[in-house]
Structure 1
Amino acid sequence: MKNLIIILSLFFLSGCVDPFLLSYAGGNVIYNMQYWEHIDTKEKASLKTENDCFDKVTKNNPFSRDKYGQCLYEQGYRFRTNNLLYCFWYMPEKCKDYNKFR
């Protein structure tokens, strides 16, 4: 039992377990690491707010993270992450696009 705990600890520390966990949880684990937070109330953007901006951006144009982020930013929301690895490992391209909306 002690050996099993040591082996599992090594996997967690090395990061080898991450892909294993994400394969079962799907994209929700990664998606939930980022959110839009209102600058005054500190509340997360509701699904309706996010969908309204998505609909506004994609009305007659292809989706653009820049326009989507600008829409939420103008409503008082700021891009946030709750995991340091999100921007460095999982979604660096998304963070690069949304960094100006922090």
Structure 2
Amino acid sequence: MLVKVFPIKLKDGAQAAAEAVVREFAPKGPGAEPGTVSFRVYRDPAKPDYLLFVEHFADQAAYDEHTGSAAYRELIAGRFAETMTEFVEIDHELVVAL
């Protein structure tokens, strides 16, 4: 299992636009990818213009397929990227899950 976590700082006032892109992307990208185990995006009500992505993939090949898809290129690398000011990509290893 490959776990990716992305804390993402958005441009001021970009929260609604970023969330709209994520909602459009979810069924077209991760929702249609057999190797994507889970795709979750969280907002922090106390921290505007910020999103946290937590994603689980079967393996590195599934992640590569995810980031190489047409939906990802158009919506995440394209429109969503225009709403960001910075992001960090953090790999995690699962210890326990219920």
Which one has more relative contact order, counting CA pairs under 8 Å at least 6 apart? 2
Larger Rg, first or second structure (1 or 2): 1
* Higher relative helix content: 1
TM over 0.5: no
* Higher relative strand content: 2
